[in-house]
Amino acid sequence: TKCQLLVTSLCVMLLGLSIATLSTVTHYGLHFTLISNISLDNNAYRVIHHTAFYFGICLSMTLILAALLSSAATVRESQCLTAMGFFCFALAFCGLIPAACWRYTHSTEVEDSMMDVYDFVYEEVRRNTSSFRRHELTAIHEAFLCCGKHSPFGDTTNVENKTCPPGQVHDEGQDCLQEIQDFVKKHMDFVFLLLGIAIGFTVYGMMVTSFLCFSIHFSSNLYRKGKYILR
């Protein structure tokens, strides 16, 4: 049981570090930061962007703390530290389940909100209402390596010539809406996979820590049996 808990603690610590790294990359990465800065107040992406970062950092800290407490409890055979480790595992589990459920029930919300931002900027540039939006659209094209979109309003070659990176030719494979959707979907699938692995390890961690806690308790009682004090 001790070896199992030590191995589990190591894996949970690596998971915590992975979640912290992924949260930081998502928050400060070029693609996500660019869309977040451009998005309007009525768009949900900016709220999702910041909430995901803070939630990921808190979750990673909880997992790392659970791993450290479990390791210390295993070495010192402390019932108190084991109970604290179990509590941290349970706390992480209570955070992981709603996150996984949100991703499952809102499977396309992140992708849709990012594509809405691109649609808004593109249409602003197409109407020639803002030169500043033209710079933003150019930055999106350079970040996602795409060029324009198929518009129901007719020819959009003029927009693409002004905002697409040099040398890129607009075709179906470089449609920005499709590129953004594919990029975010792959990222969110990886996040969902990481959440699933973390849920499995937290459940296993709770089982092992609870077993170790009871084991320490009963072995302590057995150790005291048969001892008498003469007065």
Report the pLDDT averaged over residues 40-53.
88
CA dihedral of 139, 145, 151, 153, whole degrees rounded to 10:
40
Tell me the domain boundaries of the chain. Answer: 1-124+134-144+159-164+173-222
Report the pLDDT averaged over residues 16-37.
93
Q: What is the pLDDT of residue 225?
A: 46
Q: What is the pLDDT of residue 82?
A: 87
Q: Provide the 10 A C-beta neighbour count for residue 139.
A: 16
Q: How far apart are CA 136 and CA 96, in angstroms?
A: 35
pLDDT bucket at 224, cuts 50 / 70 / 90: very low
% the chain with pLDDT above 70 = 85
Are residues 48 and 110 in contact, defined by beta-carbon separation less than 8 angstroms? yes
For residue 119, the number of C-alpha atoms closer than 13 Å in the C-beta half-sphere is 14
pLDDT in tens, 68-123: 998 888 888 788 888 898 999 999 999 999 999 998 888 888 999 999 999 999 88
Distances (CA, A) of 170 to 122, 128, 157, 181, 227: 15, 20, 8, 17, 86
Q: Provide the 10 A C-beta neighbour count for residue 54.
A: 11
Token pair for residue 37? 């800065």
Specify the DSSP element, H or E, that contains 13: helix 2-28
Q: Which of the two residues, 174 and 46, has the higher pLDDT score?
A: 46
pLDDT bucket at 217, cuts 50 / 70 / 90: low
pLDDT in tens, 140-197: 988 988 888 876 555 556 777 777 877 665 444 468 898 999 999 999 999 999 999 9
Q: What is the pLDDT of residue 223?
A: 45
CA dihedral of 169, 170, 176, 179, whole degrees rounded to 10:
-60
Length, in residues, of the chain: 231
Q: Indicate the residue type of 86.
A: F
Q: What is the pLDDT of residue 59?
A: 95
pLDDT bucket at 55, cuts 50 / 70 / 90: very high
- The dihedral through the CA atoms of 151, 137, 185, 188 has a sign that is negative
What distance, in Å, lies between the first and last C-alpha atoms of the chain? Answer: 40
Q: Quick one: which of 88, 90, 77 has its CA closest to 217?
A: 77
Quick one: DSSP state of residue 172? G
**145: left (phi > 0), else alpha (psi -120 to 50), else beta?**
left
pTM above 0.75, yes or no: yes
SS3 content of the chain, % helix, strand, coil (to 5): 80, 0, 20
